[in-house]
A and B are shown apart, each in its own frame.
Chain A
Amino acid sequence: MQMGQGFVVQVFAIFLGFLAIVMYIATINEKTRTSTFKIAGGLLAAQTLLITISVFILLNALVTSDFAYVYVFSYTERSLSLPYKVSALWAGQAGSLLFWSWLASIFTVFELWRIREHGHKYQSYVLLVSLITTTFFLILCTFVTNPFEMMPFSRMDGQGMNPMLQNPGMMIHPPLLYIGFVGFMIPFAHSIAALNLKDASPYWVKNSRPWTIFTWIFLTAGIVLGAWWAYVELGWGGYWAWDPVENASLFPWITATAFIHAAIIYERRNRMKGWSHCLSVITFGLTVFGTYLTRSGIMSDSVHSFGKSALGNFFIFFLLLTTAVFIVSFYKNRRELADKTNFNFTSKEGVFFLALLCFLALTLALIFYTMLPVLSEIILSNKMSVSIASFNFVSIPFFTVIFFLAGIGLIISYNKMNPDQFVRQYIPVLIASLIAVAVVIGLGFRGVSPLVISFAASTVFFAFLFQGVRMIMKSGVTVIYNNRRFFGAAVVHIGLAMMAFGVVFSSFYSYESDEMTSSGSSFVFDRYTLAVGDVEHEDGRNYEANYVTVDVYQQDKLIFTLYPELREYYKSQNIFGEVAYRSMMRGDLYTILQGFDKGQNIVRLSVIFQPLIVWIWVGSILMCLGAAYAVTQNKSALKQANDSPGAADTSKKNKSVTKRKND
């Protein structure tokens, strides 16, 4: 197997990584001078530079269509447009691993700069964990599956990119997700540093909070974008199939959300330390586990995966190593991490505790259902799986309880609930939510499950809305800026409520119709009349297509036109349906051209109406924007405690934590 120049660069980068690792270990064991520590930092930066160079070598090959590389041949073709040639960087196994290690190295060198004022040992632990992760992924894409492998003989053109990936959403979905995975390496690294330096203060969670939120935002965006892509591209009207690869991205998202909440208690009440540490390693572990599920091929019956690969064993090894390191570090600290006093269940701490249990239990159930085929084959020699209905069945109650806890948790005070304050502030929330559900019922929607979830989601919405209004009335409009942490969080939770409505309504209340119609005729669907036009032909850049014009009327007025089409890409002999849909606030009208026969003048159309589906996308944007707004404020806990609701007992407020210069 011949390798291109990039290979040499990669090997050198791995070598530098090993050197830096050794130097940081020496710094931790105090067996060396300060200069070694500084050199390690230099080597780390050099590794990042080398990985960047190798990425540019690969990018250059892709953009110039250098088919001497197997990777370029496999995933691109000359007629592919430029943005997609670039996105081929992460389209294949080898390239995406290089991309992962590149992201990890950039994050690491950024962290090197960001925490430069901290103690050397603290820095060493953080950077050591990050370096080991980066170097691990680099080893995978250098020695196990390398994008710089050369073709044995030259080619005039490549195999082309899978048409399903030729979509703007699919271009940015992997980078967003990868940032959302790789970023959790840093909070975990801080956790290890704090544990090994026996620091039980909230220092490490406050320090790594910007990373946690930043990563969470990208993970949210990546997951939702994947769902959106499935919705507009795959043409089955759905956006989430509980496929193992989809689930793999959801697991760390749930535990990261739990971690964010545990960290709040850690920061403000100096409790839930053990939880925070555990959740950081669980989240990091799940990001690696997620990529393992996708690439190892063990979920061979997922529509996303193929065959078996040797990568699996490497990931298992890495996960075991991570777990072992964490358990040892945690065990050394078990006494310092324990809570000194009890908490009441009727307090913010108690509600957060219950919510964390729900998050974890849900994740466990989903992991179990996802891994059932693999587990049942090993244990029972009888491979089985659960239906999609089971996934929905388990998610609904857990999310419903979590929504209720979110509303209650906001209003209930720390340490011990103040009954008067709680009742005074929660009753309006309940009333408003009941009115909201009454409106929904009045509009004709029925069903116990959807209405209960809608009620629960409404309590989240109104709890945060009313609290925001209360704060503005008390302290003026400037509080929106002065307390960005709260208002950002409020927008996140309001976005969450919107998403919940979007998911519930599009799942429970969508309907479809399969029409055998013809050019020139029309039919009624929902409140619309669809007039079917002629089937016409079009030549695209690397495909040819047949599309039909569908004029959509509402009460005799033409409101928009849709062009569902069937496309055949030249490189593939397959025919792909391109869905045509229109998003409206009340829902999406979604059309699929199933087939046509010009001779007999038959056109077969599927039409689906999905209520409120756009609320999912809008809600997720709110979640990301809200979190971004909140993370711009990273001040001491003291100010927030004054502004938070029901601060009845302030005697146990957290002292602000000072930076440590000497470890």
Chain B
Amino acid sequence: MKKNYIKYAVAFAVIAATLVYFIVSALSGEKIYYREVGELINNPLLAEKKGLRISGNVISDNFSVNKFEKYAVFEITDDTGAALPVVYNGTIPDAFEIGAAVLIEGSYSASENVFTAKKLLAKCPSKYEAEGEKHPDELPKK
């Protein structure tokens, strides 16, 4: 019986080692850090990380989008009210508009106070609202 324990142990060890390798390589590799809009504006030093992912809502200030030319200039905000100017070049997702919830990925330049986005994702106007989303009561009566 002892012999087989070694075989089991070897098999498990190999798989476990592979797993650890992947987890470690993923963590030490290109990571993307989440930041809030407010955090970034108030602590520009956080911007030294290469990959930043920020979520927020698009506000109407300085909003300019050209799906055709594939660029967009806009500002996003979060609950703190801080506004982050964003510049993006690439395919504009269908759901992108003023008021949309978006995810941007890229880097921030504190000196110019602008976020250069490499990726722009607009949230799927989803089927599952959370509580706190607009209740029909709040919508304007027709």
Contacts and interface: CB of A to CB of B under 8 A. Distances in A.
B31 A384 contact: yes
Contact of A304 (B55, B122, B126): B126
A595 interface: yes
A308 B131 CA distance: 7
Contacts of A387: 29-32, 51
A627 B130 CA distance: 38
Contacts, number: 148
A317 interface: no
B126 A342 contact: no
Interface in A79-102: 91-93, 96
Contact of B127 (A152, A162, A297, A575): A162
A434 interface: no
Contacts of B26: 369, 386, 390, 393-394
Nearest to B16: A361
Interface string A61-77: 00000000010011100
Contact of B53 (A96, A342, A361, A385): A385
Contacts of B12: 357
A162 B34 contact: no
A73 B19 CA distance: 48
A383 B33 contact: yes
A91 B57 CA distance: 24
A163 to B, nearest CB: 9
Given A357-B12, A386-B26, A604-B68, A307 B136 contact: no
A414 interface: no
B133 interface: yes
Interface in B78-102: 91, 94-97, 101
Interface in B1-37: 1, 3-4, 7, 11-12, 15-16, 18-19, 22-23, 25-27, 29-34
Given A576-B94, A596-B68, A93 B15 contact: no
B68 A597 contact: yes
Chain A contact residues, majority secondary structure: mixed
Nearest to A310: B131
Interface in A543-577: 572-577
A358 B67 contact: no
Contact of A306 (B97, B126, B141): B126
Interface string A612-649: 00000000000000000000000000000000000000
B103 A365 contact: no
B136 to A, nearest CB: 6
A610 interface: no
A294 B128 contact: yes
A216 B71 CA distance: 43
B142 A307 contact: no
Contacts of A585: none
Contacts of A384: 31-34
Contacts of B133: 306-307
Contacts of A596: 68
A361 B19 contact: yes
A41 interface: no
Interface string A304-333: 111111100000000000000000000000
A387 B29 CA distance: 9
A151 interface: yes
A385 B133 CA distance: 26
Contact of A93 (B23, B30, B127, B142): B127
B112 interface: no
A25 interface: no
Contacts of B123: 303, 306
A39 interface: no
A308 B133 CA distance: 10
Nearest to B97: A574
Nearest to A364: B19
B15 A574 contact: no
Contact of A303 (B22, B33, B124): B124
A309 B7 contact: no
B132 A307 contact: yes
A310 B132 CA distance: 11
B11 A354 contact: yes
Interface in A589-603: 594-597, 602
Contacts of A165: 127
Contacts of A309: 130-131
A236 interface: yes
Contacts of A295: 128
Given A353-B11, A365-B22, A385-B31, A594 B70 contact: yes
B3 A342 contact: yes
A383 B127 contact: no
A456 B51 CA distance: 35
B67 A301 contact: no
Given A385-B31, A596-B68, A393 B22 contact: yes
B23 A368 contact: yes
A74 B130 CA distance: 13
Contact of A307 (B66, B94, B127, B130): B130
B91 A162 contact: no
Contacts of B126: 162, 304-306
A377 B122 CA distance: 23
Nearest to A358: B15
Contacts of A93: 127-129
Interface in A225-271: 234-236
A93 B33 CA distance: 30
A164 interface: yes
27 contacts: A73-B136, A74-B129, A151-B136, A152-B136, A155-B136, A156-B142, A164-B124, A165-B127, A301-B34, A301-B53, A303-B103, A303-B124, A306-B123, A307-B129, A357-B15, A369-B26, A373-B34, A384-B34, A386-B29, A386-B31, A387-B29, A394-B26, A572-B125, A573-B97, A574-B96, A575-B94, A594-B67
Given A383-B33, A386-B26, 19 more contacts: A155-B142, A156-B142, A162-B126, A308-B132, A309-B131, A345-B11, A361-B16, A365-B19, A368-B23, A377-B34, A383-B34, A385-B32, A386-B27, A387-B29, A390-B26, A394-B22, A394-B26, A594-B68, A595-B67
Interface of A: 70, 73-75, 91-93, 96, 151-153, 155-157, 162, 164-165, 234-236, 294-295, 297, 300-301, 303-310, 342-343, 345, 353-354, 357-358, 361, 364-365, 368-369, 373, 377, 382-387, 389-390, 393-394, 397, 572-577, 594-597, 602, 604, 606
